[in-house]
Amino acid sequence: MNTLANLPNKVKIVEVGPRDGLQNEKQSVSAAVKVALVDRLSRAGFLNIEAASFVSPKWVPQMATSVDVMAQIARRPGTIYSALTPNMQGFEAALASRADEVVIFGSASEAFSQKNINCSIAESIARFAPVAQAAKEHGLRLRASISCAFGCPYQGDVPLAAVADVVGRMRDLGCDEIDIADTIGVATARQTQAVMLRAASEFRIEAIAGHFHDTYGQALANIYASLEVGVSIFHSSVSGLGGCPYAKGATGNVATEDVLYLMQGLGIETGIDLDMVVDAGQFIARQLGRNGASRAGNALAAKCADVAAPG
Amino acid sequence: MNTLANLPNKVKIVEVGPRDGLQNEKQSVSAAVKVALVDRLSRAGFLNIEAASFVSPKWVPQMATSVDVMAQIARRPGTIYSALTPNMQGFEAALASRADEVVIFGSASEAFSQKNINCSIAESIARFAPVAQAAKEHGLRLRASISCAFGCPYQGDVPLAAVADVVGRMRDLGCDEIDIADTIGVATARQTQAVMLRAASEFRIEAIAGHFHDTYGQALANIYASLEVGVSIFHSSVSGLGGCPYAKGATGNVATEDVLYLMQGLGIETGIDLDMVVDAGQFIARQLGRNGASRAGNALAAKCADVAAPG
């Protein structure tokens, strides 16, 4: 028989539903609902919650409420509340709102970078230098999110060397944590391992996070494959908040409940109460007037017992 | 870094949608629709399709049409068309309908066996002896499905020794293939490997199949984990046909499209045309008047490109 890889004993789950998730939902929700969601997640035990985005409200209407959210949440000591900050204006807002961590971003795909922001990857990252420097000066944690690390809607394949290059650039800006994101959900397990191992050649694997989308149903397999190569930070979205803005019915971010169910089964510590997350997921799904997109969440909520037929 | 296990180069996918899947859908579909579905799956390249169930139509109304289905499908040379046969009456019907393989079943859970059929596991399997013998005499392939191998809705945990025992009993009946089924979808990756390795202590791993449900979102991770320990046969259901009869909105059988997408990404040969399976999945979902439950199927059908926001 084959030799099985060792898995980490403990992982950090970064809950991205309140920001990344809700930003990609069709309906916008009020600051009060966002606060209620973040507070439920804080109580469930998350050590890191992506709670706000200080981009221009003109671009992303749901984020106009970020100031209110950050002002009104009940902060749990020890929990990091993160905010997306595309520029110095955003950084100042994040600082004023007492964000614990600011998030900058870049793409591993040259085509994606050119198409979306009309400049090269290298230029786009260089523009974050003042934000990175300001974060350091103010003692804020700095995280970088690298999109399209496993595939790009415009160029298709993304070379490992391109991932390594952008990880190196983010490291050089002084990032404390770097997310390797499968923005369009196309990765499969062995590719995931190859990309993570290559990223780990440029940055310490203890501070590399896997951000997977379940668009093709692969996210849990990719997370398991990442654990096998030593990744111990994962992003997920309660109730599968997010969805795919370009395809009705397709899913986006991997659901937190599914990830926690996996970790529980593997005996890996997260410090998070799954039942409370299921409740939080049911809460936000009700607010959005739709069913939850977490399989484990729905099954646990319904206490499913599929006992009818053989097989 | 850890050492990665080798994966098989080639797997067999057993398509169970037309029988196991449709049997657990609320609506029944006509023989004509089932025939159209099976024919689409045959053309897509499956080497094994579970097409019929010769249980009493009184128990499972959808299966009343099995005789018609088996008479009308366009059989692809080399493809095995399987039928569930609970007793000799069912076996005779399967034989008359020219099934290539008959499927018997038992549970790894004593509580499940007692609760569902009011006898012990050992007794329930012994009752299949005449079916097994008849299958051998008539040169039919014999497959056994072992339910609740990873957990039971009544007793909870199922000991590894119980799985090994029932695998041994099925082997002794002369089975050509044995399915290890996660009937309620509760397994996670490492448990999957432990159960598969224990089953392999009683039966050749080349003829052991993994039958996973996606109720808690774990099926793809469990399939990947099974590949790592050498399992090379998997059951799946086109468009995720099946569902969980006891929990609205919960999912049942893993979707074939998701499994094929994984295998394609891993470079593992299946001989099956994914695009044709996506079309078959869209066809049957339309017939049932609902959305498909395959994430890869939905994404491929919608040609999803989730490119809006970073992350």
pLDDT, position B304? 43
Tokens for A152? 């790009």
Which domains can be identified in chain A, with CATH numbers? 12-308 (3.20.20.70)
Per-residue pLDDT reduced to its tens digit, B74-106: 999 999 999 999 999 999 999 999 999 999 999
Q: Which residue has the tokens 């499969």?
A: A188
| Rounded average pLDDT over B169-175 | 98
Q: Determine, for residues B295 and A197 on separate chains, whether the beta-carbon distance falls below 8 Å.
A: no
pLDDT, position A23? 87
Tokens for A128? 């974050």
Could you confirm whether A244 is annotated as catalytic? yes
> Which of the four pLDDT bands, split at 50, 70 and 90, describes residue B306?
very low
CA distance B160 to chain A (A): 16
With CA atoms as reference, report the closest residue to B224 among A237, A186, A217: A217
Q: Determine, for residues A299 and B185 on separate chains, whether the beta-carbon distance falls below 8 Å.
A: yes
pLDDT, position B16? 97
Say which residues have a Cβ less than 8 Å from residue A20's Cβ, sequence separation at least 6: A50, A235, A237, A242, A253, B309, B311
C-alpha A266/C-alpha A277 separation (Å) is 18
pLDDT, position A47? 97
> Which of the four pLDDT bands, split at 50, 70 and 90, describes residue B31?
very high
> Which of the four pLDDT bands, split at 50, 70 and 90, describes residue A128?
very high
Q: Determine, for residues A291 and B215 on separate chains, whether the beta-carbon distance falls below 8 Å.
A: no
Say which residues have a Cβ less than 8 Å from residue A124's Cβ, sequence separation at least 6: A106, A107, A113, A117
C-alpha A115/C-alpha A133 separation (Å) is 27
Q: Does the pLDDT value for residue B245 go beyond 70?
A: no
C-alpha B88/C-alpha B85 separation (Å) is 7
Q: Determine, for residues A248 and B3 on separate chains, whether the beta-carbon distance falls below 8 Å.
A: no
B42 contacts B72 by C-beta, under 8 angstroms: no
Give A-chain residues touching B6 at CB under 8 angstroms: 2
Q: Which residue has the tokens 């329930």?
A: B124
CA distance A308 to chain B (A): 7
Percent of chain A with pLDDT over 90: 84
Distance of CA A258 to the CA centre of its chain: 14
pLDDT, position B310? 46
| Rounded average pLDDT over B177-201 | 97
Task: Give chain A's end-to-end CA distance (angstroms, integer).
Answer: 27
DSSP A46: -
With CA atoms as reference, report the closest residue to B259 among B1, B16, B65, B3: B16
> Which of the four pLDDT bands, split at 50, 70 and 90, describes residue A285?
very high
User: Could you say which of B145, B187, B225 has the minimum Cβ distance to residue A224?
Assistant: B225
Task: Give chain B's end-to-end CA distance (angstroms, integer).
Answer: 27
Mutation for testing the A interface, residue in B124, B205, B216 having most A CBs under 10 Å = B216
C-alpha A69/C-alpha A19 separation (Å) is 11
Q: Does the pLDDT value for residue A98 go beyond 70?
A: yes
Mean pLDDT of chain A: 92
Q: Does the pLDDT value for residue B64 go beyond 90?
A: no
Residues of B forming the active site: 244
Give A-chain residues touching B84 at CB under 8 angstroms: 310
User: Could you say which of B189, B267, B306 has the minimum Cβ distance to residue A215?
Assistant: B306
| Rounded average pLDDT over A256-269 | 98
CA distance B20 to chain A (A): 7
Q: Determine, for residues A311 and B197 on separate chains, whether the beta-carbon distance falls below 8 Å.
A: no
Say which residues have a Cβ less than 8 Å from residue B184's Cβ, sequence separation at least 6: A304, A305, A306, A307, B148, B151, B152, B153, B213, B215
Q: Which residue has the tokens 């369009």?
A: A184
Per-residue pLDDT reduced to its tens digit, A165-219: 999 999 999 999 999 999 999 999 999 999 999 999 999 999 999 999 999 999 9
pLDDT, position A302? 87
